[in-house]
């Protein structure tokens, strides 16, 4: 923690004494949020351009989300999956509607992204095949199954052996994908835009090639849209974005923005993948609970009623153009409000720290890359204030062209 007020210091020390050291020291102690802003324990305000890692689609404390969750909690909070509720059925129907697939689709709800991927991994086993082809640079989560699909050696190696026969191919390389998939492949799993890798967009036609390759071999095509989905790219799903996809997968996994900050994930099966699980194959106590599903419905409702998909597309373009104008930025990537940039040098940690000192929260997913995934309720003024501060942030971080 850079700010060392009494409160910040006390909670920093108490954190170190009482929480496991998996995340490193927290950068701030936060006390309050409103729209795209958060406040720390010293009362300093920050423009939150990370949005809880692509989660807070409606920002902090959105009245529609607060109302949906509190109303549902005071009406019916938790019931287990021996029973169902209107929000659960309505959210499943809404997701199927937004997916707009050319075959019937069905949903399984979870509490997080990694659980959605774990469920999807199990679903692929129901094809009778066990091989999975995944991508280098991919991140799919931290449970043993999701970790088995995640490429990063530092995350995997302390926990091997991991389940599954998983092969990794370079992301964006259709030929390598074609060479790796055969008639024993259960599924190809891809992020339509790689998030944790620092927002890596595949070349045009890559996802369509993946669709063809999967079809040739009877493999499932599984898109992990946990970070890229739910409007983040200006389309409900990144695979619907004409520049990226335009193909229908067999399996989609969601989480992050789905609940707008309330924990919820989902696995969606399309066509034959909708029917692969039989009673007893999978389960969850909390998944699909009425409160989480009410949150999901509120998020979708606000995005639709406030025209936020258009706003995401417009503001995203404005941010990318503004960031690219500085010669110390080598490349800016992304769609909508999932934005990544490469700096000229390995300075992303210093840039993120300088941004925080200047009142902006950004993320450094790799030593050279900065990622932004802000709330869809961001305003033009917010964007202007960040772009005005950006050159000074790079100066303060000591980045030179």
Specify binding-site residues.
113-114, 139, 142, 224-227, 284-285
Cα distance from N-terminal residue to C-terminal residue, the chain? 29
Interface region with ligand PLP, contact rule CB under 6 A, candidates 33-41, 110-118, 168-176, 384-392: 110-118
Listed residue (61, 79, 80, 83) closest to 70, CA to CA: 61
Measured from the CB of residue 373, what is the shortest distance to ligand PLP in angstroms?
Answer: 9
Binding residues for N(2)-acetyl-L-ornithine: 142, 284
Q: Judged by CB under 6 A, which of 227, 257, 347, 348 binds ligand PLP?
A: 227
Binding mask 265-304 for ligand PLP (x = CB under 6 A): ----------------------------------------
Q: Which stretch binds ligand PLP (CB under 6 A): 87-95, 128-136, 219-227, 274-282?
A: 219-227
Q: For this structure, is 224 an active site residue?
A: yes
Could you tell me the maximum CA-CA distance found in the chain, to the nearest angstrom?
A: 63
Q: How far is 318 from 71, CA to CA, in rounded Å?
A: 37
Q: Give the contacts of 310 (CB within 8 A, at least 6 positions apart).
A: 234
CB of 35 to ligand PLP, least distance (A): 23
Nearest Cα to 142, choosing from 27, 5, 23?
23
Interacting residues with ligand PLP between 195 and 214 (CB under 6 A): 195-196
Conformational region of residue 37, where left means phi above 0, alpha means psi within -120 to 50, and beta covers everything else:
beta
114 counts as binding ligand PLP under rule CB under 6 A: yes
Q: Does position 224 bind ligand PLP by CB under 6 A?
A: yes
Can you give the length of the chain in residues? 401
Which residues in 307-346 contact ligand PLP (CB under 6 A)? Answer: none
Binding residues for ligand PLP, rule CB under 6 A, total: 15
* Per-residue contact flags (x/-) with ligand PLP for residues 152 to 191, judged by CB under 6 A: ---------------------------------------x
Instruction: Tell me which of 38, 214, 226, 341 binds ligand PLP, using CB under 6 A.
Output: 226
374 lines the binding site for ligand PLP (CB under 6 A): no
Q: Are 220 and 188 in contact (CB under 8 A)?
A: yes
Smallest Cα–Cα separation from 229: which of 332, 323, 116? 116
CB of 254 to ligand PLP, least distance (A): 10
The residue whose Cβ lies closest to ligand PLP is 113
- Residue 117 or residue 356: which is nearer to ligand PLP going by CB? 117
Q: How many CA atoms lie within 13 A of 277 on its CB side?
A: 20
Closest separation between CB of residue 52 and ligand PLP, Å?
11
Tell me how far CA of residue 388 lies from CA of 56, 85, 322, 338, 359, in angstroms: 24, 48, 9, 20, 12
Tokens, residue 147: 């970790």
Assess whether the previous peptide bond of 295 is cis (omega < 30° from 0): no
The verdict on whether omega for the bond into residue 342 sits within 30 degrees of 0, i.e. cis, is: no
Interface of this chain with ligand PLP, residues 130 to 149, rule: CB under 6 A:
139-141
Binding residues among 232-271 for ligand PLP as defined by CB under 6 A: 255-256
Whole-angstrom CA distances from 367 to 346, 347, 350, 361, 363 are 5, 6, 9, 16, 11
Catalytic residue among 40, 48, 224, 250: 224
Q: Which residues share a beta bridge with 165? A: 131
Catalytic residues: 139, 224, 256
Binding residues for ligand PLP (CB under 6 A): 112-114, 117, 139-141, 191, 195-196, 224, 226-227, 255-256
């Amino acid at each position: 923690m850079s700010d060392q007020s009494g409160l910040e210091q006390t909670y920093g020390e108490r954190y170190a004494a009482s929480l496991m050291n998996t995340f490193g020291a927290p950068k701030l102690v936060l006390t309050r949020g409103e729209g795209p802003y958060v406040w720390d324990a010293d009362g300093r305000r920050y423009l939150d351009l990370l949005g809880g890692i692509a989660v807070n689609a409606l920002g902090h404390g959105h009245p529609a989300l607060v109302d949906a969750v509190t109303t549902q909690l005071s009406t019916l909070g938790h019931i287990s999956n021996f029973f169902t509720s209107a929000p659960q059925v309505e959210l499943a129907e809404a997701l199927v509607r937004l997916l707009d697939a050319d075959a019937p689709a069905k949903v399984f709800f979870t509490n997080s992204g990694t659980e959605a991927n774990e469920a999807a991994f199990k679903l692929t086993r129901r094809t009778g095949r066990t091989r999975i082809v995944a991508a280098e640079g991919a991140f799919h989560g931290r449970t043993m199954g999701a970790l088995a699909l995640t490429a990063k050696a530092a995350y995997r190696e302390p926990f091997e052996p991991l389940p599954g026969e998983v092969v990794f191919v370079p992301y964006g390389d259709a030929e390598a994908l074609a060479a790796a998939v055969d008639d024993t492949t259960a599924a190809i799993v891809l992020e339509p835009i790689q998030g944790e890798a620092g927002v890596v967009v595949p070349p045009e036609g890559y996802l369509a090639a993946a669709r063809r390759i999967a079809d040739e071999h009877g493999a499932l095509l599984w898109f992990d849209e946990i970070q890229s989905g739910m409007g983040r790219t200006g389309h409900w799903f990144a695979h619907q974005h004409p520049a990226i996809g335009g193909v229908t997968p067999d399996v989609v996994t969601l989480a992050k923005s789905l609940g707008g900050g309330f924990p919820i994930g989902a696995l969606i099966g399309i066509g034959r993948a909708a029917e692969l699980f039989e009673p007893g194959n999978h389960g969850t106590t909390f998944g699909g609970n009425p409160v989480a599903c009410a949150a999901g419905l509120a998020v979708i409702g606000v995005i639709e009623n406030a025209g936020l998909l258009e706003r995401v597309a417009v503001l995203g373009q404005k941010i990318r153009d503004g960031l690219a104008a500085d010669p110390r930025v080598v490349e800016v990537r992304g769609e909508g409000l999932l934005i990544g940039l490469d700096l000229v040098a390995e300075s992303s940690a210093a840039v993120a720290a300088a941004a925080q000192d200047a009142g902006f929260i950004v993320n450094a997913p790799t030593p050279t890359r900065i990622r932004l995934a802000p709330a869809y309720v961001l305003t033009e003024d917010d964007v202007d204030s960040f772009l005005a501060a950006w050159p000074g942030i790079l100066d303060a971080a000591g980045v030179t062209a």
